[in-house]
């Protein structure tokens, strides 16, 4: 590392941030020092852009945890629309993870390059089954050579009860309103408006189906201007790999499905086994963006960076459903872990996600001042409308289930599914969490606190916020003084 030792870099960085080398501190132990600021209002702060790799940016510094009670396609869609990123969790079977990734990629997408199709000879029942699987209300029908044969929508069969009917008897047959691949977006919009159609099949000059333009997708693009999209205009999505499975096959399949970021997630990412896996993935998929976690020491950052990781995930045990620190005695306070790991990550040109311990806007702000490029959130999102699972009422309160990935309940479910051989000593908890409404409202609350903090520091973007932001160690009395007392 340019002839600089890890210890020297740590000391220099902690001194720069106003943090002591010892003891290790966490969020409640410090406050951010305010500066003279020319920012009139937090609403003046518009730019919250950050990056997770050299060529991959987010519009807000928030990602959702790859937990089975936090992130599936619905959460990932919501996060990407708001400017963040969701990680489809690794506890789905591979085929389901692929389907979930593809669902995110189809959402809000004006131009669908690989539209879901079905043979025109199929039954109405089969057609309904495919439409339900992919969450769509219409489907194109083709022949064996991909020539467009017709389209069927829910309006065509809403009063049909016989699922054995050939779909040809209820579909809208050719000729349909179509367009060639050379059509521009504006021309497509005008054509769809003229004919009052929701879907515009795109064909080549031989008449074969090659794509589909969706009116819903066009409107969604306009509705969510802060959304993070790939080069083809699709929402971005991350997907987690299972270290104990054929992770090379999983990486290949998930990338082919459209995953923008891969996450190799395990409790001990500082192991040689993980290092070998990182090397293998980056050798075969050199352009893939790979996040690896979890770790909490600068030595692990150097180890994973040398293996090829683009981004590291920091945090051993600070999560609301995690009891690793309690069970093992391992795990550093999160703020100290972030700062010391980032000191090395920035030197090596890789990026960092702070995972765990984010309870409010103050924790988010402190994690970013410490140097994290983004934070990963679990418990705050688990109670939202968009998280997996049902909302239920207990007494006068609405609740949702939330559990750690190392909880006994989760391990038992994994044994049933065949992804785990035996129960290990649980290092996580399971329980319920209050219903929190939409994830949009939770994120707006977090970002409101962040923007306010940035205005105190005098920073108009996150790079300036990190450079200008410094901490002051505070006592327990100082912490109590800062709490409301009414």
Per-residue confidence band for 344, with pLDDT thresholds at 50, 70 and 90:
very high
In three-state secondary structure terms, 153 is strand
Q: What is the pLDDT of residue 289?
A: 98
Q: What is the pLDDT of residue 149?
A: 86
Residues 6+ apart with CB under 8 A from 142: 117, 118, 119, 120, 148, 149, 209
Segment 212-243, tens digit of pLDDT: 998 888 898 889 999 999 998 999 999 999 99
The Cα-based distances of 264 to 252, 269, 312, 485 in angstroms read: 13, 8, 10, 44
Q: What is the mean pLDDT of the segment spanning 139-147?
A: 89
Q: Which residues pair with 173 in a beta bridge?
A: 150
Residue 57 has pLDDT above 90, yes or no: yes
Q: What is the mean pLDDT of the segment spanning 348-373?
A: 97
For the entire predicted model, the pTM comes to: 0.88
Spatial CA neighbour of 80 closest among 230, 297, 255, 257: 230
Q: What is the pLDDT of residue 104?
A: 96
Yes or no: say if 258 and 98 are a contact pair by the CB < 8 Å rule. Answer: no
Q: What is the pLDDT of residue 414?
A: 65
Continuous segment of H or E residues that includes residue 10: helix 6-17
Q: What is the pLDDT of residue 423?
A: 67
Q: What is the mean pLDDT of the segment spanning 62-91?
A: 97
Q: What is the pLDDT of residue 1?
A: 65
Q: What is the pLDDT of residue 2?
A: 57
Segment 259-313, tens digit of pLDDT: 999 999 999 999 999 999 999 999 999 999 999 999 999 999 999 999 999 999 9
- The answer to whether residue 311 is catalytic is no
Q: What is the pLDDT of residue 461?
A: 98
Yes or no: say if 238 and 259 are a contact pair by the CB < 8 Å rule. Answer: yes
Q: What is the pLDDT of residue 436?
A: 95
* Catalytic entry in 117, 322, 341, 363: 322
Yes or no: say if 157 and 178 are a contact pair by the CB < 8 Å rule. Answer: no
Buried b (16+ CB within 10 A) or exposed e, 244-266: eeebeebbebbbebbbbbbbbbb
Residue 452 has pLDDT above 80, yes or no: yes
Per-residue confidence band for 410, with pLDDT thresholds at 50, 70 and 90:
low
Q: What is the pLDDT of residue 251?
A: 98
Q: What is the pLDDT of residue 114?
A: 81
φ and ψ of 210, to 5 deg: -125, -20
Q: What is the mean pLDDT of the segment spanning 470-474?
A: 96
Average pLDDT of the chain is 92
Residue 257 has pLDDT above 90, yes or no: yes
Q: What is the mean pLDDT of the segment spanning 76-90?
A: 98
Distance CA 7, CA 444 (A): 38
């Amino acid at each position: 590392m340019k002839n600089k030792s890890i210890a020297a870099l740590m000391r220099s960085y902690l001194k720069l941030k106003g943090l002591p080398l010892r003891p290790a501190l966490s969020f409640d132990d410090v406050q951010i020092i305010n500066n003279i600021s020319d920012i009139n209002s937090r609403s003046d702060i518009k730019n919250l852009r950050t990056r997770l790799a050299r060529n991959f940016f987010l519009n807000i510094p928030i990602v959702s945890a790859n937990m089975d009670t936090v992130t599936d396609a619905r959460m990932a869609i919501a996060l990407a629309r708001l400017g963040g990123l969701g990680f489809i969790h690794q506890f789905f079977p591979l085929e389901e993870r692929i389907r979930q990734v593809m669902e995110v990629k189809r959402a809000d997408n004006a131009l669908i390059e690989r539209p879901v199709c079905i043979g025109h000879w199929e039954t109405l029942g089969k057609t309904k089954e495919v439409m339900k699987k992919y969450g769509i209300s219409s489907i194109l029908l083709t022949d064996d050579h991909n020539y467009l044969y017709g389209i069927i929508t829910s309006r065509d069969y809403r009063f049909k009860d016989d699922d054995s009917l050939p779909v040809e008897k209820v579909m809208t047959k050719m000729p349909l309103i179509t367009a060639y691949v050379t059509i521009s977006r504006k021309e497509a919009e005008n054509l769809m408006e003229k004919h009052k159609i929701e879907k515009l099949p795109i064909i080549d000059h031989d008449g074969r189906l090659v794509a589909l333009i969706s009116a819903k997708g066009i409107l969604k693009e306009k509705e969510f201007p802060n959304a993070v999209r790939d080069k083809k205009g699709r929402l971005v999505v991350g997907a987690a790999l299972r270290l104990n499975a054929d992770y090379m096959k999983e990486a290949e399949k998930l990338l082919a499905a459209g995953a923008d970021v891969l996450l190799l997630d395990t409790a001990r990412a500082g192991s040689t086994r993980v290092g070998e896996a990182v090397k293998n993935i980056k050798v075969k998929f050199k352009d893939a963006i790979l996040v690896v976690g979890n770790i909490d020491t600068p030595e692990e950052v150097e180890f994973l960076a040398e293996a090829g990781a683009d981004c590291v995930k920091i945090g051993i045990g600070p999560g609301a459903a995690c009891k690793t620190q309690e069970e093992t005695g391992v795990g550093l306070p999160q703020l100290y872990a972030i700062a010391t790991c980032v000191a090395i990550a920035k030197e090596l040109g890789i990026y960092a996600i702070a995972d765990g311990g984010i309870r409010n806007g103050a924790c988010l702000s402190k994690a970013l001042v410490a140097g994290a490029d983004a934070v990963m959130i679990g418990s705050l999102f688990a109670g939202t409308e968009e998280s997996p699972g049902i909302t239920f009422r207990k007494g006068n309160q609405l609740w949702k289930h939330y559990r750690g990935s190392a909880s006994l309940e989760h391990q038992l479910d994994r044994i049933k599914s065949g992804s785990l051989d035996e129960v290990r000593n649980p290092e996580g908890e399971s329980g319920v969490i209050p219903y929190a409404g939409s994830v949009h409202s939770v994120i707006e609350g977090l970002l409101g606190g962040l923007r306010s903090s940035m205005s105190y520091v005098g920073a108009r973007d996150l790079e300036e916020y990190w450079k200008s932001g410094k901490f002051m160690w505070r006592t327990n009395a100082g912490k109590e003084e800062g709490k409301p007392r009414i």
